[in-house]
Amino acid sequence: MAFGNPQLLFFGLDEYPRGVYTGGMITPKSRIIRRLKIIEGQVRGLQDMTERGVYCIDIITQTSAVKRALSSIEDAIMENHLSTCLVPQIKKGDSGKATKEILEVYRLKK
């Protein structure tokens, strides 16, 4: 189940207050995109390793690295969501919706 508008997934990830100098800064959104591209390369490497018949334990080691990397991306997105979406919902008095979303993510992470 997706939460909210998928267009707003990264709402706030690369926004800074007006007048704040951000020249050359890497935004959280760009860090996540960079990580995803790295993971994409790792998955392609796994495919190649499998096709070449690389030792099974080496492949499992790499799949574990991919899972950890994806988990760190989930954590970063959740941290952003908590601060940019859920906190404002709670402040507006919509704590029921915020609680429902937190519980849904908890279920997905199990």
Q: Does a structural domain hold residue 53?
A: yes
In total, how many domains does the chain have?
A: 1
The whole-number pLDDT of residue 28 equals: 80
SS (HEC) of 1-13: CCCCCHHHCCCCC
Q: Does a structural domain hold residue 79?
A: yes
The percent of residues in the chain predicted with pLDDT above 90, rounded, is: 41
- Among the listed residues 24, 107, 25, 40, the one whose alpha carbon sits nearest the alpha carbon of residue 73: 40
In terms of DSSP H, where are the helices of 17-94? 28-52, 56-81, 87-91
The whole-number pLDDT of residue 108 equals: 84
Write the pLDDT tens digit of every residue in 53-93: 999 999 999 999 999 999 999 988 888 888 888 888 889 99
CATH code of the domain containing 56: 1.20.58.1000
Q: Does a structural domain hold residue 2?
A: no
Q: Does a structural domain hold residue 103?
A: yes
pTM over 0.85: no
Q: Does a structural domain hold residue 84?
A: yes
Residue 12 burial (10 A CB sphere; 0-12, 13-18, 19+)? middle
Which residues form the domain of 40?
28-109
Q: Does a structural domain hold residue 69?
A: yes
Q: Does a structural domain hold residue 38?
A: yes
- Amino acid 17 reads P
- With beta carbons less than 8 A apart as the criterion, state whether 27 and 35 touch: no
Q: Does a structural domain hold residue 20?
A: no
Q: Which two tokens stand for residue 75?
A: 């954590």
